[in-house]
Amino acid sequence: MNLWSRRRIRAALVVALALGIGVGGVAYAAIPDTSGVIHACYAKRDGSLRVIDDSTTSCNTSKEQELSWNQVGPQGPPGPGATTFDATIPVPDVPTEVTLATFGGVRLIGLCGGGVLLTIRHSNPADVVQLYGTTSRQSVGTLEPVFVFQSTGFDAFDTSGFDLHAIVRAFPPDAPAGTYAHVDLGAVFATNRCIFGGMITPSQ
């Protein structure tokens, strides 16, 4: 191989490497941007759309319209019949029950002290509670099944926090069972307070 051939090969490798770096730069473009906004250019002539990294690329304003939208939209309203709840309970000298929500003869009760405690009880002492679902405890990082059949209630506790997703109902033990409600609840222990929040959706 002569010197001229080696030089041509070396030049070709340099060009290929430069092209490779350029392609890699496109792959790591900031889309969406650091605020979670996606930027694009809309062609006025044919309606085609191209997404861009606005920190390095601009639309051709004579031929294109600038567009932008959020990657994540605002949270929508609760579904039909759904209700939300939230409560912040300070760590007291003596733990005190706080009713978070009531529905269909069921009470959701929060307590705070050394962690977060959720208690699900019936409103009528003569009733029983049924509950099926899962709970995820932050301190252990596990997802655990929950099954309560015709009991006085259910308790969940964690020193850091937990999530509960379950269907719940309460009814007299000698009467036909009523309809379930779907409970989505999150609880966090934050040193001097406990934060509860969630949604209750009745079955249709």
Q: pLDDT for 54-78, tens place per residue?
A: 899 999 999 999 999 886 666 666 6
Domain spans, the chain: 36-73, 83-202
Distances (CA, A) of 84 to 32, 35, 123: 31, 28, 19
3-state secondary structure of 203: coil
What DSSP string describes 38-102? Answer: EEEEEETTT--EEEE-TTT----TTTEEEEEEESS-PPPPP-TT-EEEEEEEE--SS---EEEEE
Check residue 41 and give its pLDDT. Answer: 93
Which of 41, 58, 84 has the alpha carbon at shortest distance from 198?
A: 84
Looking at residues 90-99, what average pLDDT do you find? 84
Q: How far apart are CA 162 and CA 160, in angstroms?
A: 7
Residue written as token pair 């932008």: 68
For residue 77, say if its preceding peptide bond is cis, omega within 30 degrees of 0. no
Q: pLDDT for 130-187, tens place per residue?
A: 999 999 988 888 888 999 988 888 999 999 999 999 999 999 888 887 789 999 999 9
Looking at residues 4-28, what average pLDDT do you find? 45
Q: How far apart are CA 51 and CA 38, in angstroms?
A: 7
Q: pLDDT for 113-122, tens place per residue?
A: 889 999 999 9
Six-digit token string for 50: 């191209």
